[in-house]
Amino acid sequence: MNRIIDGKKIAQRLKDTLKIEIENIKEKFKLVPGLAVIQVGNVAASSVYVKAKTKAAKEVGIRVFDYHLEDNISQKELLDLINKLNNNSDVDGILVQLPLPKSFNEQEVLDSISSTKDADGFHPINVGKLSISPKNDENLLIPCTPYGCLLMLRELNIDLVGKNAVVIGRSNIVGKPMAQLLLKESCTVTIVHSKTVNIKNICRNADILVAAIGKPEFVNQDWVKEGAIVIDVGINRVQLNEDNYKLVGDVLYDEVEKRASAISPVPGGVGPMTIACLLRNTTISCKTKLSVNRK
C-alpha cells in the first residue's frame, strides 16, 4: 500500500495542541510566548517563508516581533538587535531567516542568539545537545525541518530500529541534524552528498530516504528501493513561463510515488511541519523560562 504523508494535516494537529498549551500558559501566567522574526533583505523565497511563519505563530497565540531590515545594514547593527532581543523577557524565540546577504558572517550571527531563545536550534550549544542528549528529551531545541521529518516518520507507526536510513545532503540546517535524529531512533544512518561515489546505489539500499539537496526532481525511481519510505525536503521553484512558477521537491514525485511505500508530497509535506516545529520550539523556550523563574 502506498501512503502519502500528509504534512499539512500532521502540522495542523501539532498546532492545535500548541494552541491549547499556549492558552493554558496565558491563563496561568498572564503571558504568551513571544517570537522575534528577523529578515534581512528581500529574497523572494525568504519573504514567503517569513510570512507563513508569522501567520502560523499568530494563529496559535504566539506574539510576533517582526523585523524586516534593509540588506545594507551592518553586521554590528544586526548583532545589536539580537542582543536587545536576548535581553527582552517578552521574547522567547529568535529566528533569523537564512540565507543572509553575502556581507554577513552567518555563523557569527547564529552564535549571537541566546541558546535558550534559539527557535531554529542552530546554536552550537543546541547542536551539541542534540548529539549527546538521550532520545525523547522534551526540552531540546531541535532544528525544525529535520524534527518535522521525524514526526512524519513516526506517524507511519513503523519500527524505525535497525532501518537503513540514507540522508541526501549534509547541510547544518537539515542533513546533519536529520542524521542525528535518525541515529537516536537506532537507524543505521548514511549521509550522502555531492562528492559521494556511487550515490545512486547507496540510496537504492535505503529503507528510509530523506532528500535534502535543493535540486528540483533530482531523485528519480532508479534511486529508490521498492517499498522505501521517501521524505522530500526540497522546495524548489521551477519557472513555467514569465509570470508563473510551480513548486517541486527534490524527488521526481510521479515516478518515485509508484515505488515507495510512503512518500511526502511537495507542497503539503515537510514545509508545514517545519513551521509547526518552529512554534513548538518557541513554546518550549517559554515553558523553560517559566520553570526557571519559578525555581
Q: 195 catalytic, yes or no?
A: no
Selecting among 53, 117, 184, 289, the annotated active-site residue is: 53
137 by Cβ neighbours in 10 Å (0-12 / 13-18 / 19+) ranks as exposed
Q: Which is nearer to ligand GUN, 82 or 95 (CB)?
A: 95
Contact in structure between 106 and 100 (CB atoms under 8 Å): yes
Q: 97 catalytic, yes or no?
A: yes
Q: Which is nearer to ligand GUN, 25 or 38 (CB)?
A: 38
d(CA 47, CA 40): 10
Q: Which is nearer to ligand GUN, 25 or 174 (CB)?
A: 174
Smallest separation (angstroms) from ligand GUN to the CB of 240: 23
Element spanning 12, H or E: helix 7-29
User: In sequence order, what E strands does the chain have?
Assistant: 3-4, 34-40, 63-69, 93-96, 164-168, 188-192, 208-211, 229-232, 236-239, 245-248, 262-263
Smallest separation (angstroms) from ligand GUN to the CB of 121: 9
Smallest separation (angstroms) from ligand GUN to the CB of 159: 28
List interacting residues with ligand GUN (CB under 6 A): 95-98, 120, 144-145, 173, 274
Q: 51 catalytic, yes or no?
A: no
Smallest separation (angstroms) from ligand GUN to the CB of 95: 5
Selecting among 15, 92, 117, 120, the annotated active-site residue is: 120
Q: Which is nearer to ligand GUN, 207 or 283 (CB)?
A: 283
The alpha carbon of residue 88 and the mean position of all alpha carbons in its chain are separated, in whole angstroms, by 25
280: closest CA among 3, 29, 28, 10?
10
* Beta bridge mates, 238: 246
- Which residue has the CB atom at the shortest distance from ligand GUN? 98
Q: Please identify every residue annotated as catalytic.
A: 53, 97, 120
